[in-house]
Structure 1
């Protein structure tokens, strides 16, 4: 079990982050140090003493699992858990997968501890378990068919002409490559200094392996101007390993690594691999990775994640969701840009969900301290059908996006999908990038792949390139992106075509300005540079 203790000064941390991320504030981009974040986040001595005394009275010795001490972990017999929480734990089985899990329908804690404890897990969170515990939210496709490890050996190379230079832009509607993205978004192609301080972290879950030979082939074919031995750093957590057998290459891991190493022009890329020995229970390592990066003096300045907990936002209880969001807030306060792919089910969040006639499903995470990346398709761009987008049922609209969302809601009116979504919820995605027909190497073959999980590493690489320019001029990195994004819509290509069907509907339409298909739009590198004063 895990317990999240209340921060000593959560409001102070939030205020400090608000100032540091507000482009109009004198403290803009004055990010906090690790010690600063620990100061705000460390629970009060009264909270620590009271909760530990309660645990001791139940013969429990809890270990600290976060540097600031706001997360505790312990192992407890089910009978003790029932007694101390006035709960009734049972074994529940997920019908579709047969996965069993231990949960209770309700629980309580002593009244004098309620101000100190923000969340306890596992208790009432019933996300839709499957064998892997986490899923890639990309919905990888080879021209629409599923691609996974079992079918990697049968993947055949695409027959479409492959653009390997900007001169071949006319073929980009058939095969999207780094050359297409450089042309479309106006990206630089020159190598950054080997002493550059910019950096990217690429999350990996579910046993996904990134293959070095595939990366070398990808660079030789699609970035021949980069040294073919350009690689990444492995960082293993929770017993992870990164097999280099070609047959073990993972579509998700290869995609993420090839489009960060291959787009970031020699910027340092770290493959942050989460194994099966997770310390955060059965949430697949999503809390572990944040707590581990928070403990580092210099975590990667950009973190991109193309995986999600199984199911939609409602799969995790509100207390646990808010506690995990606070962990994201701590990392963004350090000047780290956290990007998540939104998913590939349109307004249904995930592909294949049966929700016809029911309210739309919000993706996970919708935490406002993450930048959520949707997908575009085609040249010129339109919103990709698969792009998950909509409105959170847990989080309200942050101040920085209220004007943009109200403008969209005025355009579509109150009758469209009335009652099927939360008009006051945090809207997503925030931004978008290409998410269909991207070319990667998988087990030695070129395949075409799609999903918002392609969009997130692409956008992350662009942020890393901008960070390199900022840092080389002695300026702080971009850090928490969202307030800046909504303050500078002119820095993005506004996408006004397409929609994201799901739940038996045609989904939300992409319109002028922000929309829940493409966010404020796709990146325009030169306009982003100008908005940053570069």
Structure 2
């Protein structure tokens, strides 16, 4: 089970059921922060009658069992490989104990408040309360805070308490001490607009296996990727296959731009090939002139345009981003887990610094564990690793110049995707974020590969990263010079946010073949790629500078490196290790 490095207040070892509505429970501090984040200012006490939507995260019953099952169904050498869990089986692992559920409900009802389960497994409760009620319930002091740059406000407390007998049952209450973690397009470094280098007509195929036309050195199109990575052009035909693309921060995927993209770069595909749309918490996808987002267009165009026939869904959540990106991630994964069938692949091109706000660590762990639930049900979860080299999503590594890992890439239950550049000699892109988590320990599936790299690294950068942490990225793909259409014009885009959709498309096409042969889909990808490094092309050139350093090098030793992971894809090799050549 994933453990936090953040120290919460000690829990009682004896579980007691809180059942008396008239008792005056002894309150114990549960979480506390020393001050507010630097980007916020205090505006004063929150209005007593202002409504807050609080969520209570209960301790999950048997998460360690879920983790074991995830690895069992995802590891090719396991006898349980491909035997994914049902929705009900996953929920059974994370459902809190009956004692926990009863005790927490009784406590809330004793304050004359209504409570509702907001997750299928009942590990999250929600309640709408006034600020005054929240202060009384949690012995808290909620105030209003404003973000310097966005002017968005948040009602938060610097500490809160729980009845002592409930602390063994409750992981945390949110939002309380965790402030919104925001991203804007300017600071979202996974999106890098480059000068347009497109030359009309330079989209022809190179018939030599594993190579691409010289024009692809300057401008990357779907054809370039098909040639370099041996991606098939034959249309997929399994209707129960799917790729989900997530969208945040007012980023919208434009259907007209997609059609123009296909006309220019995939003329062999029907120009009316499109995607479906799913809204979460008021998410929208307007199609008016000038509304297209470069990020959303990139993600959709390089899934629809590269996975050739695999159904693609665009999911939009919280258009204003007022709750913060962590809440957006949580809402999205809870929505997917609530569905009777999850997408076979989910790709996300957003992230944030892992530990810029330590009080968010319990929420990060909860989100990470939710990704494990998706993986256990057979979903491949992909995240762009970030575009700041060893600085991750941070613009400032701090006075100690320690490297800054990215989340969710640091979660051991997702596949983190870095970037490469170059066609004739593929090498690490200098912006490709990679490193080691300060929260999540190194998972067993990458122990051998990562230890080999660390042994060769020696004392270099000693003390600037957590050598025992989960290493990322896991894989990589081209991330410079990808051609897209945005608001009717061709643009060149770069970043790890370009690389993640490429991997999503490859896995989507592999799934199409697997489903067609009655075989299980890929699911959680990491155990397979670390067990079968021959399925990828090892990248041995380049590094990811940042934080006043040259960053990690891909050239130190063959195999894993925290710049490009295990390497870039080769469709035919992946196909072989999945047993598709034998069936």
Q: Give the TM-score of the pair, scaled to structure 2.
A: 0.85
1:411 is aligned to 2:456: yes
Residues 255-294 of structure 1 correspond to what in structure 2 (within 5 A)?
255-276=298-319, 283-294=326-337
TM-aligned CA deviation for residue 65 of structure 1: 1.4
Shift of 1:396: 0.3
Structure 1 residue aligned with 2:204: 165
The 5-angstrom pairing of residues 81-230 of structure 1 reads 81-126=134-179, 128-129=181-182, 136-143=188-195, 157-160=196-199, 163-167=202-206, 169-193=213-237, 195-230=238-273
Q: Give 2:473's match in structure 1, choosing from 404, 424, 429.
A: 429
Name the SS for the 2:564 alignment partner: coil
Structure with greater Cα Rg: 2
**Structure 1 range deviating more: 220-229 or 61-70:** 61-70
Separation in 1 of the partners of 2:323 and 2:331? 6
In the other structure, the counterpart of 2:5 is none
Mean Cα displacement is larger for which, 423-432 or 293-302?
A: 293-302
Find the aligned partners of 1:280 and 1:35 in 2 and give their Cα distance: 29
Does residue 318 (structure 1) correspond to residue 371 (structure 2)? The answer is no
1:7-34 deviation digits (Å, cap 9, x = unpaired): 2222222222121112211111100011
Contact 1:232 1:269 in 2 (8 A): yes
Look up the match of 2:564. 518
Over 3 Å counting, the alpha-carbon distance change for 1:282 and 1:391 in structure 2 is: closer
C-alpha distance 29-244 of structure 1, shift in aligned 2 (>3 A): same
Pick the aligned partner of 2:125 from 72, 95, 106: 72
Tell me, yes or no, if the aligned pair for 1:390 and 1:516 is still in contact at 8 Å: yes
| 1-structure distance, mates of 2:57, 2:187 | 25
Question: Shift of residue 513 of structure 1?
Answer: 0.8
Give, in whole Å, the separation in 2 of the partners of 1:492 and 1:119: 41
Q: Compared with structure 1, are the counterparts of its residues 430 and 3 closer, same or farther at alpha carbon in structure 2 (3 Å cutoff)?
A: same
Greater CA drift, 20-29 or 393-402: 20-29
Measured after TM superposition, the shift of residue 165 of structure 1 is 2.2
SS of the aligned residue for 1:527 comes to: helix
What is the Cα deviation at residue 241 of structure 1? Answer: 1.8
Residues in 2 aligned to 1:278 and 1:101: alpha-carbon distance in whole angstroms: 12
* CA drift at 1:90: 3.2
Cα deviations across residues 221-255 of structure 1 (Å, max 9, x unaligned)?
11111111111111111112211113000001100
Question: What does residue 19 of structure 1 align with?
Answer: 72
- The counterpart of 2:414, out of the listed 370, 374, 385, is 370
Q: Distance in 2 between matches of 1:449 and 1:197?
A: 31
Secondary structure, aligned partner of 2:406: coil
Structure 1 residues 473 and 64, CA, compared in 2 at 3 Å: closer, same or farther? same
The corresponding residue for 1:532 is 578
* Counterpart-to-counterpart distance in 2, 1:24 and 1:181: 30
Aligned-residue offset at 1:92? 3.6
Deviates more, 1:442-451 or 1:502-511: 502-511
Aligned position for 2:3: none
Contact 1:160 1:174 in 2 (8 A): no
Please give the root-mean-square deviation of Cα atoms over the aligned residues, in Å.
Answer: 2.1
- In terms of fraction of residues, the more helix-rich structure is 1
Taking the aligned partners of 2:437 and 2:103, their CA distance within structure 1 comes to: 34
- Of 366, 376, 395 in structure 2, the residue corresponding to residue 333 of structure 1 is 376
The equivalent residue for 2:523 is: 479
Q: Please, which runs of 5 or more residues in structure 1 have no aligned partner? A: 144-156
The alignment partner of 2:274 has SS state of: coil
Counterpart of 1:243 in structure 2 is: 286
Residue aligning to 1:300: 343
Give the 3 Å change call, closer, same or farther, for CA 297–130 of structure 1 in structure 2.
Answer: closer
Q: What's the CA shift string for 1:377-425, capped at 9, x where partnerless?
A: 11121111111110000000000001111111111111x1111100000
1:72 is displaced (CA, Å) by 1.4
Q: Pick closer, same or farther for the CA change 1:266–1:159 going to 2, 3 Å.
A: closer
Q: Which residue of 2 aligns with 1:496?
A: 540
> Contact 2:436–2:465 (CA<8 Å) still a contact in 1?
yes
